[in-house]
Structure 1
Amino acid sequence: MAEALERADDTVDRLLESGRRPGDVLVLTVGEPHPWQQHELSFGEGRYWAQLTEGDDVFYADAALTRPARRDVVVLVVNGTPAHRAEPAFQQALGRAGALLVVCGEADLVGAPGTPESRPALA
């Protein structure tokens, strides 16, 4: 679902343009990994995970991330995944978001009320 990835990229751009620091943003994908995640992993697992710890840049990861990660803003990309995987990803993303969770893709797959493009985190 390339459209979900494009919407997520646009969302990240708007967040940064509005004054959010790159280190405040976590992008999680439910389907295929984000191309930027794939690029960063090409430098090795150690360097990739160091970026999460350093917290200086937007971090891209799979929604099933098991490492502790919490950012002010989480962008959840629901890109071509079965509904049974989207719901737990939504719940985990909500718990990782300090102030804002943005869902890009099929919002109805994650059981979110209505079809919001963004909603405040309840964490």
Structure 2
Amino acid sequence: MSATPETALDVADEAVDRLLDQGAAPESILVLTTGEPHPWQQHEESFGAEQYWRQFTDGRDVFYAPALNDRGLRRETVVLVVNGFADPGRSTDALASAIGAGGSAVVVCGDLDQVRALTGL
């Protein structure tokens, strides 16, 4: 879904709502950001890292995380938010990791030309 870095979070939230409306289970959706963390992730992390990551393990709801992480996150559907890059030198790594985290579907929200140029897709 085409978006600018400034609008990518809003477009991603709309994509998640659409997936849920179409019957996707919340626990099957992983939202990964390449830049600034999603506001929901920031809110949940304010309660502590252990509690935040336990939510992924418990797998009961949509989970929000950075695209570049060392946890090997994977869910059936990934919504990739290309909202800038937290580490511009690793932009290709962030995209490849996020795309590989999706089981059957990856929804990209961002500058699709930039994603294609960085990933070769």
User: What TM-score does the superposition give when structure 1 sets the normalisation length?
Assistant: 0.85
Unmatched 5+ residue regions in structure 1? Answer: 115-123
TM-fit CA distance, 1:102: 0.6
Residue in 1 that maps onto 2:80: 76
Q: Distance in 1 between matches of 2:94 and 2:27?
A: 21
Structure of greater relative contact order (alpha carbons < 8 Å, 6+ residues apart): 2
Asked if the contact 2:36–2:84 (Cα under 8 Å) also holds between the matched residues in 1, the reply is: yes
Q: What is the one-letter code of the residue matched to 2:113?
A: D
Backbone CA RMSD of aligned residues: 1.7
Residue in 2 that maps onto 1:58: 62
Of 96, 99, 112, 1:94 maps to 99
Unmatched 5+ residue regions in structure 2? Answer: none
Q: Distance in 1 between matches of 2:94 and 2:30?
A: 13
Q: Distance in 2 between matches of 1:71 and 1:39?
A: 21
Q: Secondary structure at the match of 2:68?
A: coil
Residue in 2 that maps onto 1:31: 35
Q: How many residues align?
A: 114
User: What TM-score does the superposition give when structure 2 sets the normalisation length?
Assistant: 0.86
Q: Percent identity, aligned pairs only?
A: 53
